[in-house]
């Protein structure tokens, strides 16, 4: 019984992490699709990949993120493939941001309004890759309440990921400016 609980616990943790990563991918893809010129300009500043890959990276973010969310909620038993694709994508992001941080510290990140590329961006990508790989390996929790709870936890994590920095940017004051 203890082993079943342990498996269920880690499956839920990995699924929540995977949902969080999928929400971030989808939001990033939507932001890049809304501002394609800005996305290409960031890639030009990086000087590692041609700006022409902006459309492909945007499509990958949108497709993988949406597929992971859809499978986690509709058919968690089939989520292993999309979760593995998400793990690969986050591994690529981790490597890319580590190379950027090493070779071109100070270039714009292009991640949700972050200033410059930091090691925190690379670490976040590694953590999300690990969560997605764990979800692909362990499988999403099968009972309906568990997977919806995991998706809700991912939404809460994604909201906190965006709201806490915005709140800090407002100097701790509850100002509407910090959330724009």
Tell me: the pLDDT tens digits for 51-76?
999 999 999 999 999 999 999 888 88
Q: Please tell me the predicted confidence (pLDDT) of residue 180.
A: 30
27 has a pLDDT exceeding 50 = yes
Contact at 8 Å (CB) between 29 and 165?
Answer: no
Nearest to 142 by CA among 81, 78, 88, 77: 77
pLDDT for position 14:
84
- Rounded Cα distance between 128 and 24, Å, is 10
Q: How confident is the model at residue 100 (pLDDT cuts 50, 70, 90)?
A: very high
Whole-model pTM: value is 0.77
For 144-178, the pLDDT digits (tens) are 445 666 666 666 666 666 555 544 554 444 443 33
pLDDT computed for residue 174 by the predictor: 42
For residue 101, what are its two tokens?
């941080």
**What span, in angstroms and rounded, lies between the C-alpha atoms of 125 and 111?**
11
């Amino acid at each position: 019984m203890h082993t079943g609980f342990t498996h269920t616990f880690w499956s839920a943790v990995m699924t929540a992490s995977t949902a969080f990563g999928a929400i971030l991918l989808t939001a990033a893809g939507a932001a890049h699709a809304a501002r394609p010129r800005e996305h290409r300009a960031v890639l030009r500043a990086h000087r590692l990949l041609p700006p022409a890959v902006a459309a492909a990276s945007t499509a990958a973010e949108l497709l993988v993120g949406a597929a992971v969310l859809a499978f986690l909620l509709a058919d968690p038993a089939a989520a292993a493939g999309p979760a593995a694709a998400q793990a690969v994508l986050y591994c690529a992001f981790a490597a890319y941001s580590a190379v950027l941080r090493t070779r071109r510290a100070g270039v714009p990140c292009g991640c949700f309004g972050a200033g410059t590329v930091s090691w925190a961006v690379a670490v976040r990508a590694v953590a999300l890759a690990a969560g997605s790989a764990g979800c692909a390996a362990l499988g999403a929790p099968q009972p309906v309440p568990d997977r919806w709870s995991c998706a809700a936890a991912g939404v809460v994590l994604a909201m906190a990921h965006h709201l806490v920095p915005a709140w800090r940017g407002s100097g701790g004051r509850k100002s509407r400016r910090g959330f724009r």
